[in-house]
Amino acid sequence: MPTGAVIEFTNISKRFGGVTAVNDLSFTVEPGRVTGFLGPNGAGKTTSLRILLGLVAASSGAATFGGVRYRDLPHPLKTVGAALEAASFHPGRTARSHLGVYAIAAGLPRTRVMEVLTQVGLAAHAAQRVGGYSLGMRQRLGLAYALLGDPGVLVLDEPINGLDPEGIRWIRGFLRDMAAEGRTVLVSSHLLSEVAQSVDDVVIIARGELVHLGPLSSLDTDAAPQTIVDSPDRENLAAALTSAGISFSIGRTGLLAASPDPAVLGHIAFAAGVELSVLHRQKAGLEDSFLALVGGGHTL
Amino acid sequence: MTMFLRSVSAEFAKIFTTRLWWILVIVLFCYIGLLAGGLAALFAGIQTGVISPDAVNTGGGPTDFGSLPPLIYSFASSVGYVFPVLLGALATTGEFRHQTLTPTFLATPRRGLVLGAKTATLILIGAGFGVVALAASVGIGGGVLSAFGVDALLLDSQTWLLIARTLLAMGLWAAIGVGLGVLVPNQVASIVIVLAFTQFVEPLLRLAASFLEVTAKIGNFLPGAASDALVGASVFTMASPAGTPPLDWWQGGLVLLGYALVATVIGYVVSWKKDVT
């Protein structure tokens, strides 16, 4: 069983001309867990991953696998499997010969080609030219390339883009399985909801800078707790809240009271003799926390 | 070393898993076969008197073309060289165009080694193109010469030296194609440059340079002229009016190698080692 290595970003910065794409980014990714690398489009995720893989040169800083830079790995494909954008192939090649080329280059047994194509569910299309593949099939082929060397580390850039619902369910289970085997799994996405079901940890960047780091549960905070309360007699309810000194705004489904405790509101209504039709707490979800972190005022 | 050999094998696999190579091979064989066969018939016909010079309207032009076989056989490189250049340029620019540099550099992060492997591979395949081109020029052209009763010189060691030098020239041309591909990674621009330069610009330059002795000496260093010098015969040198001698065969080979090296090294710096985004 391949063992995962720790991925380490140390003070990575990248400038393209005068534009800073990544600014002083540092974090580590542990084996045996699925880590979501999140941020809006243009936040610098792909650039960071390409620096990690030695495809883009960092302006400063270093990114390593178990302390070794990608280009210094003795057996890169056996150590790290990466799937970047979904179109890195010659359209005239079949899936089998596409993977065959890189199996030869990496000194891997040719039997691995059909093994990984079977693993990602493309065995039936192995002899088909890749130019005729759908976006979902290309994603799977990219994943097959990542798996070619049976690596301990997986680096996947937006692997869920373009997959159908069945494919999304499949890849979620796949990511969990890979981590359960002790591999290091780093998955980028611009949508938290896409990966929330499969990740243990999150690394969130915005505008090239780290904004949050920690287990997924660390996002599950009551950032802006509100309680929705409503009554057939909304006027009297509003008066009761006002006299109790609770501020509120009028929402579509009722009054949005700025109080975290529904019991307090229930008591106020009861004391004022107002019948309630709605009383529930509205939690700020993971997605809201995520958007609050990366948003900085602009919408996605 | 194993890493280099693996890269060479992978580069071979890249060429032979797409359709381009055999399309070029078929066109190369037909083109050179028709040209060598047709001109062998014309020249041999005139030289042996089967075809009257008046009939082809040469206006009392030459009826003696020297030794015909080397002239006919050299069509393999003097005309066919554009095919290995195209293959080399397309194999290289295709990596940029289809973004296959990403999986290539992930599998082999040492980029200089990959470019060296690509060059070595294309030199061998370019020589393979030479075999095909010679099959057409010697096979068909020589057959036609024999049919006219002209000695095809197939037992002459000079003929076989010419054949060997043609293989070398075709290999070097493929390496020049790789160099052009990294120098001009845009595939369309690269193809336009290959076709415009080989089919139009260089023949004109060689013709223009040949009228004065001083320019003719410079013209000898044009890649096509160097290639013809390496091979040792060409329809172009036959047509040269100033009579300036071409380079020695080994000088021509070194000039070709120089073009390939310079283009590849500059291309490595300006495109190959840059960020792959």
Q: What pLDDT, in 10s, does the model give residues B154-186? A: 888 899 999 999 999 999 999 999 999 999 999
- Closest residue in B to A48 (Cα–Cα): B277
What's the structural domain count of chain B?
A: 1
CB atoms closer than 10 angstroms to residue A74: 8
Domain of residue B173 covers 2-272
- Provide the pLDDT for residue B53: 64
User: Which residue of B2, B20, B106 is the best one to mutate when testing the A interface, meaning the one whose CB has the most A CBs within 10 A?
Assistant: B106
Question: Residue A231 and residue B147: Cα distance in Å, rounded?
Answer: 108
Per cent of chain A over pLDDT 90 is: 61
Residue A49 has pLDDT above 90, yes or no: yes
Residue B57 has pLDDT above 60, yes or no: no
User: Which residue of B5, B102, B118 is the best one to mutate when testing the A interface, meaning the one whose CB has the most A CBs within 10 A?
Assistant: B102
- Provide the pLDDT for residue A76: 96
Domain A7-216: which CATH class? alpha beta
Q: Residue B93 corresponds to which tokens in the numbers above?
A: 């620019």
pLDDT band at A297 (very low <50, low <70, confident <90, very high): very low
> CB distance B108–A106 less than 8 Å?
yes
Residue A191 has pLDDT above 90, yes or no: no
Higher pLDDT, A149 or A217: A149
The whole-number average pLDDT for the span B127-140 is 97
Q: What pLDDT, in 10s, does the model give residues A67-90? A: 999 999 999 999 999 999 767 899
Residue A7 has pLDDT above 90, yes or no: yes
Higher pLDDT, A291 or A135: A135
Residue B228 lies in a domain: yes
The whole-number average pLDDT for the span A233-243 is 88
Residue B59 has pLDDT above 80, yes or no: no
Per cent of chain B over pLDDT 90 is: 74
- Provide the pLDDT for residue B143: 95
> CB distance A145–B100 less than 8 Å?
no
Residue B201 has pLDDT above 90, yes or no: yes
Residue A109 has pLDDT above 80, yes or no: yes
- Provide the pLDDT for residue B141: 95
Residue B183 lies in a domain: yes
Q: Which residues of B touch A107 (CB under 8 A)?
A: 2, 6
Residue A238 has pLDDT above 60, yes or no: yes
Segments making up each domain of chain A, as ranges: 7-216, 226-283
pLDDT band at B240 (very low <50, low <70, confident <90, very high): low
> CB distance B17–A91 less than 8 Å?
no
pLDDT band at B102 (very low <50, low <70, confident <90, very high): very high
Residue B208 lies in a domain: yes
Say which CATH architecture domain A226-283 belongs to.
Answer: 2-Layer Sandwich (3.30)
Q: Which pTM was predicted? A: 0.87
The whole-number average pLDDT for the span A198-223 is 86
Q: Residues of A numbered 45-64 whose beta carbons fall under 8 angstroms of chain B's beta carbons: which are they?
A: 47, 50, 53-57
